[in-house]
Amino acid sequence: MRNRDRILKNESFIIVLGMILLMLFFLWIFSRSFAYFNTGASKEDILNEEEYKAAYHTPSFTWADNGNEGREVEDYLKEILSKDYAHAWYYWNIQHKNGFAENSRIFYSMIYTDEFSKIFSAEPLSKKKVNRVDLEHHLDIHLYALDGQVISFTDSAAVIVEEIMNDEGKIIHSKKIEMTLDVVMVFQDAGWTIQHMVPRNIQDHDFPYVDAQIPQAPYYKVGAAASYQRNQQEFRPKGINYYPQAFPWDIWEPFPEDTIRDDLRIIKELGMNTIRIFVGFDEFGKGYVDYEYLEKLRILLDMAEDEDIAVIVTLFDFVGNYELPNWPACDRHLETILKKFRTHPAIFAWDIKNEPDLDFKHAQTDRVINWLEFMLAKARQYDPNHMITIGWSQPEMAYLYEERLDFVSFHYYRKSKDLAVAIQELKQQTNKPVVLGEFGMSTYNSYLFPFGKYEEEQAQYYNEILAVLEQDEIPFISWTLHDFPEVPSKVVGSLPWRKNPQAHFGILKQDGSPKLVADVLADSFDHSTSIQISWIQKVLRPFHVGVLLGIIFVIVGVLLFWKRKLIIQRLNLFSSSS
C-alpha cells in the first residue's frame, strides 16, 4: 500500500512536471506564431527576392579614360552598362551558392546560360560550398560599336571575395581574388548581355583583405603618450552618446535641428567636448545613400563645429547581415559617407560598427571579422584624414585589430570595481590609446522591476568609473544625455522590463532637469570623494516595497479566506444586534 502510494506520488510529480513543460512548449509555439503573424511581409517577399537583392548589388566601378574605337562612350552608357554588368555578376555569384539563378538568362547569352545551368546544377564533387561576391570593377572600353549594339572592354583587377565553407557551413577559407577579364557584351532585349568573358591574371590571396597603413590624420589625431591632438593642441575627449530626447535611435528622419542645437549647447555647458552619434545603414538608404540624410548629417556636423564639439560617427548601426551579398551595398554606404565628409573638421573618428562582437554568435565569427577587415581597409581608402575605431561591447574583445585602428574603444556596463582590472588586461594587449565608448547606469526604479537604481547610485557608479578613468587617463563617452519617453522596439525588443530601463540612462531627466550625475561629470568634481547612499534607500527600493505590500495582501487574503466563517458570523451578529 505504501509502495503504491509512493509510486502514485512520483507519477503525480512527473505528470505535473510534464504538464509544465508541455505548457511552456505550447507557450513557445504560440509566441512564435504570434510573432510570425505580426511581423508582416519583408521587402524580399513583396518584391521578387532575387530582383530586390540584385538591385542592392552595387559593386564599385571605375572607368579608364583611354579613348576607344567606334562610338564615343556616353555617361548614360556607363550607368546602364555598369548596372547590367553588376547584375550579370550577381546572378553568377548566386549560382555558386544556389546552383541555379532563373534570371541569369537575361544577362548572359544562351550558351553561357546553358553552361552555367549544367555545371552548377550538376552533382557536386565536394560537400564544401562556395559563396562569393564581386566588389570592384575597373573597366577599360576598347570598342563601342557605332550603332551602340556591341561593346568590348577589359575589366582590370576585378575584385572578388569568396568564402569556402565546409559541409557544416563553417568558413574554412576567405579569399580575395583579383583578376582581369576580357568581356564582350551585346545590347539586346533592352539590356546588355554577356557574350564572351575570358579571365586572365588571376591573383588569389587569403584574407586579410588588404594590409592598410594608418595615415596621420590632419584633424584629430593620436599624439604622444597615447593622448589626442587637434591643431597641435592636446585634446582629451569627454563626451556623451547622443540622441535627441523625442527621437532616440531615430534621429535622421525627423531631424529636429533646433533641438539638436540646444542639446549641443547643454552638452557644452555640462563640460563635455565630444558626442557619439549613430548612422543607420537601412535608414540612410543602404547602398543608395539618400542625399537628404547626408545633408542632415552635414548640418549636425556643422552645428557641432560651431559649438566646438568633436563627433564620433558610428556607422552601420543595426546591420546584422554580414553575408557576402550585403558587402557591396555596405561598401557604397561607406564610400558615399566617408568621401563626403573626409574633410569635415568636426569629425573626431569614424566608429565602423557598434558592438560587432555581439553578432559573433549568430553571424559566425569569421564572417563578422572578414566584414570588419574589408570595411576597415575601405574606410582608410575613402577617408585617410580621420581616425578609425570599432566600438566593441566588451573590453576582452577590444584588442582585435588594434594594430589597424587609431585607438581602441570598448563599452562597459559591468561593476565599476572590475573596470580597473579590465583596462589593465586590455593595456597588456595593446599600446594604442583606449577610449571608453559607452558606460552608464539606468535610474529606472519601479515597483515591478527588481534591479532598479536610484539617481544616487547612478552618480556613485559614474564617480567610481570616472575615478578609474582619471587614474588611467582614459577618455570616455558616457551613455546618454536624455531619459527617453519611449525606446523603439528594434533596440531591445518590446518587453517592458527591457525597454523601460533602457529609457532611463540619461544625465538629464525627461523634464530636462539634471540628475545628480551631472555634478559628478563636472571638471571640478573630486572623484576621490565617495557618494553615500542611505541604508533606508538600499532596503526600501520600490520593488521591495511592492513585494512587501504583495506579501501583506496575500496574507490578509489568506486570513480572510481562512476565517471567513468567523467573519461572516461576526458580521451577522453585528447586523442583527444593530
Partner 1 sequence: MLLWVCPHYTDMNRYLAYIFFITFIFSCGKQEVDDLSVTDIDTSQYGFSIIESSIAGDDVWINITGDVSKSNDFYFLIFHPLGRHIMDVNENFMQIPKSWTKRSGEYDVEFYHFNQLIEKKKFQVMPREAIGDLNSYIGPKSIITTINEPCMIIGIPTDTFNNPMMDGTQVAYNLQRPGLDIQNRSISIQKLTSNYVFNAQTLNGKTLVGINCNASYSMEKYVDEEPGWPKQIRISPIPKTLKADGKQFVTISTEQIRDALNNIVMDGTQVTFFLLGDDGSTNQFTSLTVDGKSKIFFQHPRKTMTFQVYAVSGNIKSNTIPLAFETNAKEVPMLLLEEDNLIRIGPITSHLQQFIPDGSKIRYAFYQDGQIMREGTVATQKGMTLIRLEDLVLDPGEYIVECEYEGNTSVMTLNIGN
Angle at 169 between CA 164 and CA 173, to 5 degrees: 25
Q: Which is nearer to partner 1, 195 or 394 (CB)?
A: 195
Confirm or reject binding of residue 35 to partner 1 (CB under 8 A). no
Query: In angstroms, what is the minimal distance from the CB of 96 to partner 1?
Result: 6
Residue closer to partner 1 by CB (options 157, 212) is 157
- From 16-24, 51-59, 305-313, 446-454, give the range in contact with partner 1 by CB under 8 A: 16-24
Is 359 near partner 1 (CB under 8 A)? no
Q: Which is nearer to partner 1, 202 or 559 (CB)?
A: 202
Cα–Cα–Cα angle for 201, 203, 205, rounded to 5 degrees: 175
Q: Which of 46, 111, 556, 571 binds partner 1 (CB under 8 A)?
A: 111
Q: Judged by CB under 8 A, does residue 103 bind partner 1?
A: no
Q: Is 69 in the site for partner 1 (CB under 8 A)?
A: yes
127 binds partner 1 (CB under 8 A): yes
Sign of the Cα pseudo-torsion (111, 116, 121, 124, in order): positive
DSSP class of 108: B
The helix-helix angle for 257-269 and 291-306 (nearest 10°) equals 30
By the rule CB under 8 A, 75 interacts with partner 1: no
In the list 64, 80, 106, 186, the residue contacting partner 1 (rule: CB under 8 A) is: 186
Q: Residue 480: is the preceding peptide bond cis (ω within 30°)?
A: yes
CA–CA distance from 283 to each of 143, 250, 254, 287, 504 (Å)? 41, 9, 12, 11, 25
Q: Which amino acid is at 200?
A: R
* 120 is a contact residue toward partner 1 (CB under 8 A): yes
Binding mask 200-219 for partner 1 (x = CB under 8 A): xxx-x---------------
Note whether 170 binds partner 1 by CB under 8 A.
yes
Contact range with partner 1 by CB under 8 A, out of 159-167, 318-326, 390-398, 450-458: 159-167
Grid cell for residue 292: 537628404
- Of 119, 545, 551, 552, which one interacts with partner 1 (CB under 8 A)? 119
Residue 19 binds partner 1 (CB under 8 A): yes
Please enumerate in sequence order all residues whose Cβ is within 8 A of that of 513, keeping only pairs 6 or more positions apart, or say none: none
- Considering only residues 219 through 238, tell me which ones interact with partner 1, judged by CB under 8 A: none
* In the complex, minimum distance from the CB of residue 51 to partner 1, in angstroms, rounded to a whole number: 22
Neighbours of 382 (CB within 10 A): 18
Residue range at the interface with partner 1 (CB under 8 A); choices 38-46, 119-127, 216-224, 464-472 = 119-127
User: Is residue 27 near partner 1 by the rule CB under 8 A?
Assistant: no
Q: According to CB under 8 A, which residues from 512 to 571 bind partner 1?
A: none
- Tell me how far apart the alpha carbons of residues 475 and 472 are, in angstroms, rounded to a whole number: 9
Distance (Å, whole) CA 523 – CA 216: 30
> Which of the ranges 193-201, 333-341, 454-462, 493-501 carries the binding residues for partner 1, by CB under 8 A?
193-201
Per CB under 8 A, 118 contacts partner 1:
yes
Helical (H) or strand (E) element with 329: helix 327-341
Q: CA triplet 406, 409, 410: central angle to 5 degrees?
A: 160
Strand boundaries in 95-249, DSSP class E:
129-144, 150-165, 171-188, 191-206, 220-222, 228-230, 233-235, 238-241
What are the DSSP calls for 349-397, one per residue? EEEEEE-GGGGHHHH-HHHHHHHHHHHHHHHHHH-SSSEEEEEESSGGG
Stretch that binds partner 1, among 152-160, 243-251, 283-291, 523-531 (CB under 8 A): 152-160
Interaction site with partner 1 (CB under 8 A) = 11, 14-15, 18-19, 21-22, 25, 69-70, 92, 95-96, 109, 111, 115-116, 118-120, 122, 124-130, 132, 142-143, 145-150, 152-154, 162, 164, 166, 168, 170, 172-173, 177, 179, 182-184, 186, 195-202, 204
